[in-house]
Structures are given as structure tokens and as C-alpha cells.
Amino acid sequence: MSYHLPKKNFISNEKVFNHFTLFAQDEAIIVNTKRNDDNSVEINFEKNVPGSYYISLNFKSYTNCNTPPTGKVVRGMSGTLVRLRPIDENKSVNCSYSYSYFMGNPNAKPDTTFIYMLPFKKGFNVRCQTLTHLGAKYFNQKEAKNFTAYSFNCESAEVVYSMRKGIVVKVEKDNESDRSKSLSYKSEVNSILIEHEDDTFANYKGFDGDEVYVEPGDMVNPDDQLGRLTHYDRSDRYQLRISVFYREVFEIMPQAKTLKDQTTPYAYIHPYFFTENGNEHLVRGNYYTTQKSEELITKEFSRRELKKWNKKKKDL
């Protein structure tokens, strides 16, 4: 049997238009091949990062087996991608392939009606601003599908809370706030990326690197504390930026030759939020007061989590 494993994973760094950047890590996923005594071949994976990934298999050749699948979404830390069974059980399966991978599920079916909670403490009043797609505005790029992102300016270093249950898949906390400049936008900020049950992601940006309370792999529930904001620039403002998006493109994105040529494999959600007015889309310039709802907090709980939640309430 011959098979091809590249010396280094073929994977592209995919930039998502200036509001956040997702970089897949080297050796985040390792694919290997195992021959079994029954002449079948297993193609297995080991994943060193949390969250869902799509692993693409490019078979250059294969013999004595049916047409193999071209890819699979994986969520666990290890497992089998495919088992190639021999058509003629007395002969070996032979194959040659390469692989690539990216974060997210390209078959995502996002719940666009899901109700999120505002990411602040109960009763906190804050003004909402919407963000502009900078690539489209300044570099004539094609705007990401349904582009939606929000910013909230605060007068103090507020604690940021999770808007929805999910798993922390990426934490960036090594950036320091530059208090010497006044900025309308900056890309290097500390962030937390959380993946939800419906394969959407929520990106939270603006944290103090020393006040990040979660790590990759942590499960968070709605209203769990994620971290504390830091100064955005030389002004006294503390700014949180959020967006919700999902993967919708199967292909690895090619490296763009120019800024104008950059495209994104992600589409955005225009989420509903639970506010003092009920469930609504946020409107630029409006003030909103954070509300909490037990129904929303426990909406995606498992039976075990719900039982634990009810016991905790009873013991209080």
C-alpha cells in the first residue's frame, strides 16, 4: 500500500475581513493510515485543538475498494475518517492521498431565529453601534454574506458574559492596549471565539489579556463570565466587538494576491437579542438594558445539566 502524507499539513491562513482573523495552527490535525488484518485500511485522525473541523481527503489513486469519501466533519479529538474495505478480500487495499483541513462545518445549518442574551451584567445599559466591512469600504472587496458586527463602548472595564452556550475554541490574550494613540479601528486585540451547537461561532473582542477567564476547550453557558474589557486606545473608552458567523464554503481559500482579491468562506448571522423590549435585532445608536432569562440560559442544556441547574437553585 502506498499513501501520501505531506511533510506539512496543507492549510491556508484564512482572514475574515478585519474584524477578526482565524489562523489554523500548524499540526492542529494529524492524519495517519492503518492497515488491518482483514486487508482493509483505516484513515484516522488526531486533533489537538477543540471545536469542529472539516478534513478534506484528496485521493490520487485507490484500488480494490469502492470510491472513498472526500471529507468529513470531526468534533472529537481522535477517530476514524474512513475505513476502506477490500472488494476482493484476498487482496490488499492500496491508496494514495493528501489531506487538508479548516475550522468549522461547511454543512452548517445555523438557527437564525436563536435568541442571544446581551453580553453584560443584568441591568447594564449600553449603546449599540454597528461595524462597517472595512475590506469593502477601503479595498473594494466583496462584502461577506450578511455582514453583521456590533460594538459597545463602556465607561469602565466591564465583565463580558457569554451570549450562548458553547465551547471555547480559540483564545488570544497576548495583545496590549496602546494608550498613546486615538484609533477608530485596530486588528490586534484580545479575543475569545466560541462555537455553538448549530456550528455558528461567536467572536468577542476587546479583553484585558490578564483578565481572560476561559481557555480553549472550556464549555461555557449563557451568562458565564468570559473576561474583562481593557482600554481600546488613549481615550477612556472600553470597547467590546461581537459577531456571529458560520462556515459556508467547502474549499480551502487560496492566498489572495491583493487585498481586493481577498474573499471569506464565512457568512454572518443577524442575531436576535433578548432586551427590555422583548426579542429583537439591535439597531445602530439605540441603548439597550441587559436582561437575563432562565429559559434562555437553560435552553440548550442537556438533561444532566438541567438537573444540576435545578439542584443548584434548590440549594440556594
- pLDDT tens for each residue of 31-40: 999 999 999 9
Nearest-angstrom CA–CA distance, 93 and 87:
8
Q: How confident is the model at residue 19 (pLDDT cuts 50, 70, 90)?
A: very low
pLDDT (mean) for 239-266: 74
Q: Given a cut of 70, is residue 204 above it in pLDDT?
A: yes
| Total structural domains within the chain | 2
Q: How confident is the model at residue 18 (pLDDT cuts 50, 70, 90)?
A: very low
Give yes or no: residues 140 and 73 share one domain: no
pTM of the model: 0.85
pLDDT (mean) for 177-193: 68
Give yes or no: residues 31 and 76 share one domain: yes
* Residue 38 belongs to domain spanning: 14-103
Give yes or no: residues 85 and 199 share one domain: no
The share of the chain scoring above pLDDT 90, in percent, equals 69
Give yes or no: residues 85 and 161 share one domain: no
Give the residue from 46, 76, 103 where a domain finishes: 103
Q: Buried b / exposed e across 154-165, counting CB within 10 Å, b at 16+?
A: beeebebbbbbb
Q: Given a cut of 90, is residue 278 above it in pLDDT?
A: yes
Give yes or no: residues 122 and 94 share one domain: no
Q: How confident is the model at residue 236 (pLDDT cuts 50, 70, 90)?
A: confident
Backbone angles phi, psi at 298, to 5 degrees: -100, 5
Q: How confident is the model at residue 6 (pLDDT cuts 50, 70, 90)?
A: very low
Determine the pLDDT at residue 132: 75
Closest CA to 253 of 261, 245, 264, 242: 264
pLDDT (mean) for 8-14: 31
